Amino acid sequence: MLKMLRGKDTKYYGKFFSVMTVTIFLTISILSGILYLNFERIALNQSYEQTMDSLDQTTQEVSVMTLTASTFAKQIHNDQNIADLLNFPNVSAMEISDAVKQMNNYRETSPFIDSIYIYNAVAHTFYVSSDMSVPSVFSEEEFYDQDMKEMLKHIGDYNTMSPIPRKLRIEGLAGNIAEKERDTYTFLLYDTLAKQTPRNAVVVNIKETQLHKHIDGSLTNDAANTFLIDKDGLLVSNSWTTPMLTDMKGTPYIDRILNSGEPSGYFPMKVGGIKSLVTYSEPDNLGWRYIRIVPYTLISERIDNMRTKTFYTAGLILLAGLALSFVVSKRLFAGINKKLSRLVNLESEQRESQQAVRSEYMRGLLSGCTRSDPLRVKEMFLRYGIGLDPDRSLRVFLITIDDYRALVDQYQPEDRKLLRYGILNIAHELLISAGLSAATADLGDNRAVIIIQPADAEVDDKETYSRYAGLIQEAVTQYLKLSITISSSLNGKGVQSLHTLFEQAVEASFSRVFSGAGSYIDAETVEMNKTRSYEYPIHKEKQLIDELMLGRISETKRLFTDIIGDTANYSYISYQLAISHLTYALQNAIRTIRQHSAASEELAVPSLDLYNHTRVDTMAELMERYMSLFDLLEKHMDEKRKNRQDDLPGRIKRMIDERYADQNLSLEMLADEMGMSATYIGRVFKQHTFQTILSYIQEVRMNKIRELLTHSDDCIGDIAESAGFTNNPYFYKAFKKHNGVTPAEYRRNSRQQKEDEGGEGAILA
């Protein structure tokens, strides 16, 4: 009887498993067919969204480049050394030289600047800083940039500080062999209120390669072609197949984009005989569109392979299931509990997947890549269980993990993800318990976001949010042993403001360099600092370099601290500008020190990297690095000074004795040839000889002149010139002041004295 029951169970189990196998096969086959019909559309949408994300990043890079170029142009315009070239028709050669050096400093500080022009409309003169071997000053007729001359004649047709794509033609220019032209973006800064034409202008030419690497740099893993066009279909960047400024009108896919009426989108079309997916973005504030062309096979190939593999897998499942149904049926049902446990795990994984999708949706809202109309957002919030009202006031907290480099070294990526999840979970629970609504999003690396919505207007104030941020920071430190910085946006009305609020919080987070780790930064304070106009203290920079070359390291440290510390009262870009200036100046000073001494240790200025985890996070860290550098320089210069000071006056005297006839002999010339500061060698010489270098030069020259006046019949002017004097009135005045008589009187007196001495000798004989 027992065997019969077991046989029935086996037969029942076999039939049940066979039905399950056939059902699975049919389900997989039907689903595969449905998915195949929809996968292409899904793949196209995903490709479009990924492309728009990349193009949005490129837009931000272009905005940063434009902002930086504008800042440099304004800084050049406000520079006192350069202002004389811009505003006065008659400028001395020395002033021109100083101004051009300053222009070169600006150009070399930023690698993406091709050249800088200063155009004086009254003098019809161009002053040029370029990496090519060209003169620094051109008359308008001789200037090599013909297009620029035409642009300046119609300067009112161009917007100030907007990029103008053009080709800088340099074919045939002296010293230039390989290049015929350069692709650049030109920024014009001029007085828009002036009525005369042409007008004085500052011109900054940006290399197109700087923008092009941001366009293609993030998409180099595939065979896509990405470029920009303006509203008229003109190509404003290079592409793989077409040079910049080519008129793309008449090309089918370009005409379709221009005539579509849609701000952005995608469509399949043949491009160059190859079926491709064409994706285009909404025009930016310049009217430029970003276009990406991807070969269609790259998208559909994986879908076709997946369809084939799916059908093969389904067939194998059917055959294997029917063959093994009776063999494994008992074991299958014996392990039902195990399968149920697995089902629970699958449900947990599904919840995690739901959370990932919700976080991805929030990231899209923050970045501005997802539709933010209230009805659509309300529907998605309900679907993902996000407890926010799209129509009410919102505020964004951006959380930045401090000292993230240590976490990277200590934890694996999955562990770091768990830490971010823990931070967000703590923050969410604290805010919910305080009666606020909140939603979170993991941004990856060291950043996460909390979107906050108060229950009523009474808690919607600056002090309350600061208190909540402090509670979150304390809890994270207590439970996770981590330090975090929180930057807060302003209050925004509705979900449409979410992208703007996120950008405010990101911009505020840059001020962590001033406030330090574990701080709370409010966007209101940042916006107030941005309204203050910052002027870089170039006089302090010069004083700092002079003190460094003199070996006064304590004063050097004080000046460096003053310059950098003062930027805390201004915007973050002012801090970047000050660091850029000081880094360049210190590099030049250290290069000079290294050239004229055999350094036993490597001397290098620390660099400020803003875009990866090795960057300097706070001003305190920056100060510590530079103070260490100054200490190293002090030690090196003290050792060298002991060896050089005793011999320095003798070297100076020998150079003057040998070159007294050189009309250009001066304190500055001696300092340049010796690779030292003029102030330094003047001070050391006076300490050892009790006279100045200039007085010693005068003494040597006067001794030679007295000798020639006494023993030669050369005219006084020739004698003065042979001794290094070029200005006769100055020579006569200096000679009389030094000797008490004129050169002619000295010659007459010395010869009379010589004759008298000869006569006395004859009488004695």
525 lies in the same domain as 543: no
Residue 251 lies in a domain: yes
Sequence-ordered strand ranges (E) for 321-436: 393-401
Residue 2 is predicted with a pLDDT of 38
Residue 765 is predicted with a pLDDT of 36
244 lies in the same domain as 160: yes
Residue 203 is predicted with a pLDDT of 92
125 lies in the same domain as 266: yes
757 residue type, one letter: E
The list of the chain residues with pLDDT below 50 reads 1-9, 218-220, 598-602, 604-614, 760-765
What gap in Å lies between CA 435 and CA 455, rounded to an integer?
Answer: 6
Report pLDDT digits (tens) over 355-400: 778 778 888 888 888 877 778 888 888 888 888 888 888 899 999 9
518 lies in the same domain as 545: no
Conformational region of residue 749, where left means phi above 0, alpha means psi within -120 to 50, and beta covers everything else: alpha
Q: How many Cα atoms within 13 Å fall on the side-chain side of residue 345?
A: 6
Beta strands 137-139 and 125-130, pairing class: antiparallel
Residue 456 is predicted with a pLDDT of 67
Q: Which residue has the tokens 């995690």?
A: 352
437 lies in the same domain as 473: yes
Residue 342 lies in a domain: no
626 lies in the same domain as 676: no
- Report the CATH number at residue 735: 1.10.10.60
Residue ending a domain, choose from 529, 558, 579:
529
Residue 449 is predicted with a pLDDT of 92
553 lies in the same domain as 654: no
Cis status, amide bond into 198, omega within 30 of 0: yes
Residue 504 lies in a domain: yes
Radius of gyration of the chain (CA): 38
Residue 508 lies in a domain: yes
Residue 336 lies in a domain: no
487 lies in the same domain as 626: no
Query: What residue numbers bound the domain in which 580 lies?
Result: 538-631
Residue 605 is predicted with a pLDDT of 47
Torsion angle in degrees (nearest 10) through CA of 556, 561, 566, 571: 110
- Report the CATH number at residue 361: 3.30.70.270
Residue 256 is predicted with a pLDDT of 87
Other C-beta atoms closer than 10 Å to the C-beta of 298 total: 15
Report pLDDT digits (tens) over 423-457: 989 988 888 888 888 888 888 888 999 999 887 65
What gap in Å lies between CA 683 and CA 37, rounded to an integer?
Answer: 87
135 lies in the same domain as 226: yes
What gap in Å lies between CA 580 and CA 584, rounded to an integer?
Answer: 6
678 lies in the same domain as 609: no
Task: Using alpha carbons, list the distances in angstroms from residue 575 to 30, 47, 226, 247, 625.
Answer: 62, 39, 34, 42, 16
Residue 486 is predicted with a pLDDT of 93
Residue 360 lies in a domain: yes
292 lies in the same domain as 359: no
Domain count, the chain: 4
Residue 419 lies in a domain: yes
Q: Which residue has the tokens 């650049």?
A: 184
Burial of 458 (0-12, 13-18, 19+ CB in 10 A): exposed
What gap in Å lies between CA 681 and CA 698, rounded to an integer?
Answer: 17
Residue 36 lies in a domain: yes
Three-class DSSP category at 200: coil
Residue ending a domain, choose from 577, 596, 631:
631
29 lies in the same domain as 119: yes
